[in-house]
Structure 1
Amino acid sequence: MVVGKSEAARSATSYFRTARPLPSLVTALGLGYFTWAVFWPESIPYQSLGPLGPFTQYLVDHHQTLMRNGYWLAWLIHVGESLYAMVLCKSKGITNGRARLLWFTQTFLFGIASLSILIAYKPKRQKQS
């Protein structure tokens, strides 16, 4: 099938790919566990978590301020990655509003798991006639 110039350009301006499931799951579970440890540490079953339990309990008992600050720093980094995704969208010619919103949201939620796909994207440049 031959794709016309306008159709190829349209697909480049609305480029979006979903992040791979495993890195996205790791990020979501990690941030979820971090949230749980920062805001509801008394409800964590430390003894049932293997080596992660005692380590988390030590952090909760001795470094609560560091954990709370680290939690907000992690979300601030995700905001920064999302904003950088918008810069990358512009530089790579992704102008479709829906595609840009999807990149922003996915990068905010999954961080580098999403951003790495956008960084690797190499749009085909249109030849100037």
Structure 2
Amino acid sequence: MAKSDGGSYFRRTSLFWMVVVTVSLSFYTWTVFWPRDVPYGLLGPLGALAKHFVDYHYPVVYYGWFLTWVIHLFEALFALKVCSDKGIDSTSTRLLWIAQTFLFGLTSLCLLIKYKPDGRPKRQ
């Protein structure tokens, strides 16, 4: 069996962070596009805060939603650069890192940044 050169290194982010990011971004999307349908009263302090932002700062909430996805896009592009720098040369593996980083942001990108390929000096 040949030793892996790290060209196809991929690690899935933890289920905890996948759920947290998915629920958070889903709630954010709900409050931006369907603010009248959100049951603010059932959500306690989070509902009161969300209602306040929707009622008094909606443009910030609206444009902030788009900014969130732009930031995730730049994180995904940075993941592509990090893959190149670390010698991850498998196209399918790079696509996995890009997709995971786009969807889950820093929780994925940090795993990629922490990866130290064999034979490469550790940067400080």
Bucket of the pairwise TM-score, normalised by the shorter protein = over 0.9
The normalised TM-score by structure 2 is 0.93
- List gaps (5 residues or longer) in structure 1: none
The Cα shift of 1:46 comes to 0.7
Partner of 2:100: 106
The CA distance in 1 between the partners of 2:7 and 2:116, in whole Å, is 12
Matched, 1:36 2:30: yes
Q: For residue 113 of structure 1, what is the amino acid of its counterpart?
A: T
The Cα shift of 1:125 comes to 1.6
Matched, 1:19 2:42: no
Number of residue equivalences: 120
Q: CA-to-partner distance for each residue in 1:85-106, whole Å, 9 max, x for gaps?
A: 0000000000000000000000
The normalised TM-score by structure 1 is 0.90
The Cα shift of 1:26 comes to 1.0
Matches within 5 A, 1:1-129: 4=2, 7-9=3-5, 12-125=6-119
Could you list the structure 1 runs, at least 4 aligned residues long, displaced by more than 2 angstroms after superposition: none
Aligned-pair identity in percent equals: 43
The CA distance in 2 between the partners of 1:8 and 1:69, in whole Å, is 44
- List gaps (5 residues or longer) in structure 2: none
Q: CA-to-partner distance for each residue in 1:77-128, whole Å, 9 max, x for gaps?
A: 00000000000000000000000000000000000110010010000027xx
